[in-house]
Amino acid sequence: MNTWDLTPLFKNTKELEHFTEQIKKSCENFKIKFENKLNNLNQNDFAKSIETYESLNADISKIMTYAFLVFAKDTKKGSFYAKFDEECTRAQQNLLFFELEFNTLDEKTQDKFIKATPKFAYYLSNLKEQKPHQLSLKEEEILLRTSNTGAEAFARLFDESMSAMKFKFKGKMLSEEEVLSKLHSTNRNERKEAAKSLSNELNKHKHLLTYIYNMIKTDLATSCELRNFKTPEAPRHLSNQITQKSVDTLIKASENSFDIVHKFYEKKRKILGLKKLYDYDRYAPLEQNKTKYEFKKCKEIVLKAFSEFSPKFGKIAKEAFENGWLDVYPSDSKRGGAFSHSGSADAHPYVLLNHTDGRRDLFTLAHELGHAIHQKLSYSVGFLNSDTPLTTAETASVFCEMLVFDYVKNELKPKEKQAMLAGKLEDIFATLYRQINFTTFERRVHSHKGEISSNELDKIWLEESVKMFGKSVILNEYYKIWWSYIPHFIHTPFYCYAYSYAQLLVLALFGLYKSKKCENFVEIYTKFLSSGGSKSPKELVGLFGFDIDDEKFWNIGLNEIKKIVKEFEELKC
């Protein structure tokens, strides 16, 4: 199947509406039964209360999953999404007291309840860490009720605006995904035209996109002020369960190794026979006869690579292809990009793609199916524990990319292998170094007092981008607007360093796997993914003998990149 089957969630809208009404009533009853009473519960009754709390949250998530997927498939259906978003907000309002009230309990009572519910021990312990940043119940209710008209509303406006944009290219009007795919063309003039087309259309909407970003920036600043966070990125570090120091160390180690990027692009320039390498040349394929990666071919490669690593991985991927987990091709009003939505434990994850038969589409498929496998495995620890921090959320996706890369490259001729190595390094740079650029860009934007102008955003974007490329790639003037189409800046500020974190972590893990020094690697890795968010990133990575607090840890992953660059440089074609 090449499109989603949403019936495992709900057979039709009528069933969805009936279920929504039931859940709203159940949430009301939960509030009546437990609000202002947690302190008087015995351990057994508290255990029952949190089990019910988890179940209700899972049901609300199921409703929102369906509404979101309908909207992602057709962004013209914003009113449908908004309707159920509002209904779920009302339901959640009746559950809001639970976590807040838990943090009003004295520490002795909290610890007693944590001990009585080992399944939720880590979740409740993390909840205690959030106590200094929680507001009163009434304040939290107000923020929840107004969330649909705050940052969430501007994020929706961004999605709808980007989906509606059409980019003029050789007399045709292309979607965002289609014009971006042209940056990978073998024809230099096509790449240049695509880059200019992207910039020209974004510039037409510059005022709107700047305004949206300013509203996201202002909303985050207000939230941090209300919740007593010292920096705009602090809430993200708390949710990622890592320290500011570890993020700073990651950024420093990455920026200190930008010379890896410079070496690669200098070698690529020579292979292409160009005097200068421009921004539109970054993804120029090294094969003149560009191989098409049709979806059927990508499916076969992914299934073989996954199954060789782990029969369980292969089985889950096969189920995804056969049972309507994927929506594959671009279509009018469909959301751009790609994602895997965790869906519901009584259904399955849902993967959105915009497949255009390019090499990168093969790795996008592997990436998103990696997420889906992670999500499917983590259903076993329950809804509240299944949500992984971003620092480990990208681990399976990037690892699965490496599995496919390793599987494919060994079957290629030298010239094809050189092209594949180049493409993979470009993907690694995009996942690691570009995300570091994104993060340092965000740091400067969010440190700016008051609203920030389009010109200042352009200036900061170029300055941070140049750090990565140095003199190896010339960035044209039009490139300065490209900050404006990055969805993570709008949907999840300071998300991007998690990609860098995961990339280096995965390279370290993949190096361990290939070295065969860990005989039961697959077993440990499956346990790692199946744990979801029930353990800390430090504890999960510790399963392999690594310490994420050690500054030397990041260099393990960076050394793996150096090995690939060296292989690329020394390959004889």
Closest CA to 537 of 244, 241, 245, 250: 241
Range with the largest mean pLDDT of 3-17, 122-136, 550-564: 3-17
Taking the domains of the chain in order of start, what are their residue ranges? Answer: 13-134, 295-409
Place of tokens 């309707």: 83
* Residue in the block written with tokens 């005989």: 519
pLDDT tens column, 413-463:
888 889 889 988 998 999 899 999 999 999 999 999 999 999 999 999 999
What six digits make up the tokens of 276? 């200068």
Burial of 255 (0-12, 13-18, 19+ CB in 10 A): middle
How many Å apart are CA 20 and CA 84, to the nearest integer? 8
Give the lowest-confidence range in 308-322, 533-547, 548-562: 548-562
CA 123 to chain centre: 21
Report residue 266: phi and psi, to 5°: -65, -40
Give phi and psi for 358, each to the nearest 5: -95, 165
Confidence of residue 410 (pLDDT cuts 50, 70, 90): confident
CB atoms within 10 A of CB 69: 19
pLDDT digits (tens, 9 = 90+) for 32-61: 999 999 999 999 999 999 999 999 999 999
Phi, psi dihedral angles at 330 (to 5 degrees): -65, 150
> Does 387 have pLDDT greater than 90?
no
Tell me, what's the pLDDT at 276? Answer: 96
Residue 110: other Cβ atoms inside 10 A: 19
Using the structure block, give the residue that is written with the tokens 């390279």: 507
CATH of region 13-134, choose from 2.30.110.10, 1.20.140.70, 3.30.530.20, 3.40.50.300: 1.20.140.70
> What gap in Å lies between CA 368 and CA 350, rounded to an integer?
9
d(CA 400, CA 395): 9
Mean pLDDT calculated for residue range 286-302: 87
Model confidence at 290, in pLDDT bands (50, 70, 90)?
low
Question: Which residue spans within 220-366 are E strands per DSSP?
Answer: 326-327, 339-341, 350-352
> φ and ψ at 174, to 5 degrees?
-105, 160
Pair 381, 531: CB distance under 8 Å: yes
Q: Which of 77, 226, 85 is nearest to 143 (CA)?
A: 226
In SS3 terms, 302-335 reads as: HHHHHHHHCHHHHHHHHHHHHCCCEECCCCCCCC
Beta strands 167-169 and 172-174, pairing class = antiparallel
174 in helix, strand or coil? strand
How far apart CA 23 and CA 66 sit, in angstroms, is 15
What angle separates helix 43-73 from helix 107-116, to the nearest 10 degrees?
A: 80
CB distance 222 to 193 below 8 Å: no
Query: Quick one: average pLDDT of 28-33?
Result: 98
- Residue 555: pLDDT band (50, 70, 90) is confident
Q: How confident is the model at residue 116, as a pLDDT?
A: 95
**Average pLDDT rounded to a whole number, residues 18-28:** 98
Question: What are the tokens at 573?
Answer: 């074609």
Q: 6-15, 325-334, 350-359, 564-573: which has the minimum mean pLDDT?
A: 564-573
Q: Judge contact between 26 and 308, C-beta under 8 A.
A: no
Average pLDDT rounded to a whole number, residues 188-215: 97
Mean pLDDT, rounded, of the chain = 94
Q: What pLDDT digit, counting tens, does each position of 60-109 carry?
A: 999 999 999 999 999 999 999 999 999 999 999 999 999 999 999 999 99
172, β-bridge pairs: 169
Beta bridge partner(s), residue 340: 351
Ramachandran region, residue 289 (left: φ > 0; alpha: ψ -120 to 50; beta: rest): beta
Higher pLDDT, 305 or 246: 305
- 289 confidence band (pLDDT: 50, 70, 90): low
pTM for the full model? 0.80
pLDDT digits (tens, 9 = 90+) for 169-188: 999 999 998 999 999 898 99
Return the percentage of the chain with pLDDT > 70, whole number: 99
Closest-CA residue to 479 (of 226, 193, 280):
280
CA 201, chain centre distance (Å): 26
Give me the pLDDT at residue 288, please.
64
C-beta atoms surrounding 40 within 10 Å = 8
Determine the average pLDDT of the residues in 152-175: 94
Assess contact for 374 and 395: CB atoms under 8 A. Answer: yes
Distance between CA 265 and CA 471 in Å, rounded? 10
Q: Is 25 helix (H, G, I), strand (E, B) or coil?
A: helix
Encode pLDDT of 124-149 as tens digits. Answer: 999 998 888 988 889 988 888 888 88
Report the residue count for the chain: 573
Does residue 10 have a pLDDT over 70? yes
pLDDT of res. 255: 95
- C-alpha torsion angle, residues 538, 542, 545, 547 (rounded to 10): 10
Distance CA 278, CA 472 (A): 9
* 427/182 Cα distance (integer angstroms): 16
The strands making up 339-341's β-sheet, listed across from edge to edge, are 326-327, 350-352, 339-341
Alpha-carbon distance of 191 to 283, in angstroms, equals: 9
Report the distance separating Cα 108 and Cα 111, nearest Å.
Answer: 5
CA 43 to chain centre: 37
What is the average per-residue pLDDT within 531-535? 93
Residue 411 has pLDDT above 90, yes or no: no
